[in-house]
């Protein structure tokens, strides 16, 4: 059994992005720009936004740090998004959710120019992914795919089982695995015999948000297990997979934390660079 | 075993649309409008377009029949699409494919206003379907779902297997079955043991375009089988399923022809009515 070191792979991706940004700038281009829009003063949101700013800086991406007051109107936030859409120095736009109640954050997200949708979560980005057309892909599922790629996991013809059907992870990773020629089964809370379906998986993606829902004996001998879950329990930060028993059967598995988690920001930086290149 | 009579169900849907259109007009609204855009003089395309015009007329939908010459430029066709986007009497727009080589038909399709995309095939419509957001859904997979609904097929928790991953049928019907709470497996040419995967299916959708690829003994006893295939062989019009042996096992099955086929135009008419209601 091999542990997938998401922290190390994320560092590697970030180093690659840093080198590519430097080469891009050396060619005479402006550095890629990533704008974060934070409305109000939620402490957790401020920490997330700060993390993205810091990560951008580290790889040479120019951060644009937009902050609007807690009582900003929907139209004010909308105007900010549209200004960023029009600003050629900005290649990626993130509207930090949740927004205060007077601002319809999810609706405003759909007004981000698809070419700057570095979160890859607008309907048009979702459609481009489904159709296999060029576009920006959502960061967390891209991160999972990157982990599989770096470990040379054979996806063509593999039975892939995705547990969870969120817009954020389950659905897009199902689309990505299908594009990689896996036979893909998507499961969820209404799946009749989840254990049995999981036992078919050569590649199992757990993205359901229930601590240790997936038991070790649901894992096929030699399977690859990617655990996207991050569930705070009284004792620890638990994944969706019962790790201690799953390691007995998996050939390759992500720990929680230190597996998928670190990949999200790394892929966000990569998306921002790709968006800048596509815009040039 | 019960045969699914797609012809009768399509007639039923068309009669319902006709009654709803009449009620809509009686409420003082303009009749819904469906525009077809035909570039050049391909005989088969002219027949398709004529069929849609005729079907529209029969249910009280106003047809707009736009024809451009074989040598029309990309920009001329584009201008026509944009005029139709701006015309409030037009609720649905169909650009008949294929177009002559100087016109990039697929690219122009994406310029159809998503609210008028009654084929449901633009990236944004695809994304809205994936996310479960309101939008226009593609006609053939919608027709399959309608057949299942009219026969009260239980989809929640069912194992659904979709053979084929086209943008036209395989992928959207996978998304629709998932939204209906089935456990969905999507298969394709790289699937390792297609027979074995098909044998799991409570509901099997065949949309792969290979005559009689799916053998009778791949059908689980009592399964529901929807055959989207329409393959011209020297002897007959064949589905993707070996019908004569599949009927021995299926509880419910579509014939070819007379199964899914007639549903496509019926659902197109329904989409046009829905688009008119959403625009009012």
Binding residues of B for NADP(+): 164-166
Q: Which residues contact B8 (CB under 8 A, 6 or more apart)?
A: none
Q: What is the tens place of the pLDDT at every residue in B69-99?
A: 999 999 999 999 999 999 999 999 999 999 9
Query: Quick one: average pLDDT of A93-111?
Result: 95
Long-range contact set of residues B73-76: C-beta below 8 Å, sequence gap at least 24: B73/B102, B73/B103, B74/B102, B74/B103, B74/B104, B74/B108
**A154 CB within 8 Å of a chain B CB:** no
Q: What is the tens place of the pLDDT at every residue in A168-199?
A: 999 999 999 999 999 999 999 999 999 999 99
Q: Report the mean per-residue pLDDT for chain A.
A: 97
The answer to whether the beta carbons of residues A143 and A263 sit under 8 Å apart is: yes
Helix, strand, or coil here: A238? strand
Q: Considering only alpha carbons, which residue of chain A is nearest residue B135?
A: A123
The predicted pLDDT at position A40 comes to: 96
Q: Considering only alpha carbons, which residue of chain B is nearest residue A126?
A: B127
* B80 and B145 inside one domain: no
Contacts of A171 in chain B (CB under 8 A): 130-131, 178
The whole-angstrom separation of Cα A168 and Cα A264 is 11
Domain membership of residue A253 (yes or no) is yes
Q: Report the mean per-residue pLDDT for chain B.
A: 97
The answer to whether the beta carbons of residues B135 and B128 sit under 8 Å apart is: yes
Instruction: Indicate the residue among A66, A96, A113 that finishes a domain.
Output: A113
Question: Looking at the partner chain, which of B124, B167, B178 has a beta carbon nearest the beta carbon of A124?
Answer: B124
Domain membership of residue B2 (yes or no) is no
* B97 and B152 inside one domain: no
The predicted pLDDT at position A85 comes to: 98
**B110 CB within 8 Å of a chain A CB:** no
Neighbour tally for B1: CB within 10 Å: 12
Gap from B146 CA to chain A (nearest CA, Å): 21
Across the interface, whether the CB atoms of A133 and B156 are under 8 A apart is answered no
**B235 CB within 8 Å of a chain A CB:** no
Contacts of B190 in chain A (CB under 8 A): 156-157, 181, 183
The answer to whether the beta carbons of residues A195 and A216 sit under 8 Å apart is: no
What's the domain range around A92? Answer: 28-113
Reply yes or no on whether A96 is catalytic. yes
Half-sphere exposure at residue A85, Cβ-oriented, CA atoms within 13 angstroms: 15
**B106 CB within 8 Å of a chain A CB:** no
* B158 and B92 inside one domain: no
* B84 and B148 inside one domain: no
Q: So which residues of B are the catalytic ones? A: 52, 96, 119
* B167 and B99 inside one domain: no
The predicted pLDDT at position B161 comes to: 98
Which of A5, A113, A117, A119 is catalytic? The answer is A119
Which of 62-91 (A) contact B at CB < 8 A? none
Contacts of B188 in chain A (CB under 8 A): 178, 181, 183
In the sheet where B252-253 sits, what is the strand order?
A2-3, A252-253, A224-227, A203-206, A159-163, A183-187, B183-187, B159-163, B203-206, B224-227, B252-253, B2-3
> Which ipTM was obtained for this model?
0.96
- Provide the number of structural domains found in chain A: 2
Neighbour tally for B10: CB within 10 Å: 25
Domain membership of residue A17 (yes or no) is no
The predicted pLDDT at position B260 comes to: 98
The answer to whether the beta carbons of residues A167 and A209 sit under 8 Å apart is: no
Q: Which residues contact B50 (CB under 8 A, 6 or more apart)?
A: none
Query: Quick one: average pLDDT of B220-233?
Result: 97
Structure confidence at residue A211 as a pLDDT band (50, 70, 90): very high
Structure confidence at residue A219 as a pLDDT band (50, 70, 90): very high
* A145 and A254 inside one domain: yes
Domain membership of residue B10 (yes or no) is no
The predicted pLDDT at position A86 comes to: 98
Domain membership of residue B22 (yes or no) is no
- Could you tell me what percent of chain A has a pLDDT over 90? 99
* B215 and B105 inside one domain: no
Domain membership of residue A279 (yes or no) is no
Contacts of B178 in chain A (CB under 8 A): 165, 171, 186, 188
Binding residues of B: 164-166
* B246 and B183 inside one domain: yes
**A156 CB within 8 Å of a chain B CB:** yes
Reply yes or no on whether A119 is catalytic. yes
Cα–Cα distances in Å, from A187 out to A171, B5, B39, B119? 10, 31, 44, 28
* A38 and A149 inside one domain: no
The predicted pLDDT at position A215 comes to: 98
The whole-angstrom separation of Cα A77 and Cα A140 is 26
Domain membership of residue A171 (yes or no) is yes
Where residue A64 sits, what CATH number does that domain have?
3.40.50.10860
* B47 and B87 inside one domain: yes
Where residue B155 sits, what CATH number does that domain have?
3.40.50.720
Q: Considering only alpha carbons, which residue of chain A is nearest residue B181?
A: A190
Residue to substitute from A117, A121, A130, A189, interface B, most B β-carbons within 10 A: A130
Strand partners for A224: A203, A252
* B58 and B93 inside one domain: yes
Q: What is the tens place of the pLDDT at every residue in A27-77?
A: 999 999 999 999 998 999 999 999 999 999 999 999 999 999 999 999 999
* B104 and B201 inside one domain: no
Q: Which residues contact A107 (CB under 8 A, 6 or more apart)?
A: none
**B156 CB within 8 Å of a chain A CB:** yes
Question: Looking at the partner chain, which of A131, A171, A192 has a beta carbon nearest the beta carbon of B167?
Answer: A131
Q: What is the tens place of the pLDDT at every residue in B229-269?
A: 999 999 999 999 999 999 999 999 999 999 999 999 999 99
Domain membership of residue A104 (yes or no) is yes
């Amino acid at each position: 059994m091999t542990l997938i070191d998401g922290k190390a792979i994320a560092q590697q991706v970030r180093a690659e992005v840093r080198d590519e940004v430097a080469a891009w700038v050396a060619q005479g281009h402006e550095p890629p720009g990533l704008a974060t829009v934070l409305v109000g003063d939620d402490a957790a949101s401020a920490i997330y936004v700060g993390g993205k700013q810091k990560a951008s800086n580290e790889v040479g991406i120019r951060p644009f740090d937009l902050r609007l007051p807690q009582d900003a109107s929907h139209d004010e936030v909308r105007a900010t998004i549209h200004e960023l859409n029009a600003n050629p120095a900005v290649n990626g736009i993130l509207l930090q959710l949740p927004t205060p109640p007077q601002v319809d954050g999810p609706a405003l997200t759909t007004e981000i120019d698809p070419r700057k949708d570095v979160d890859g979560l607008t309907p048009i980005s979702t459609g481009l992914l489904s159709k296999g057309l060029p576009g920006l892909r959502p960061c967390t599922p891209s991160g999972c795919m990157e982990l599989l790629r770096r470990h040379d996991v054979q996806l063509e013809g593999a039975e892939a089982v995705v547990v969870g059907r969120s817009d954020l992870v389950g659905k897009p990773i199902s689309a990505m695995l299908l594009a990689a020629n896996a036979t893909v089964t998507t499961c969820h809370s209404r799946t009749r015999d989840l254990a049995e379906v999981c036992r078919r998986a050569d590649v199992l993606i757990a993205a359901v948000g229930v601590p240790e829902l997936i038991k070790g004996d649901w894992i096929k001998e030699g399977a690859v297990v990617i655990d996207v879950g991050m569930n705070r329990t009284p004792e620890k930060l638990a994944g969706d997979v019962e790790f201690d028993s799953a390691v007995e059967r998996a050939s390759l598995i992500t720990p929680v934390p230190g597996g998928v988690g670190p990949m999200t920001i790394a892929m966000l930086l990569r998306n921002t660079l790709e968006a800048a290149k596509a815009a040039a």
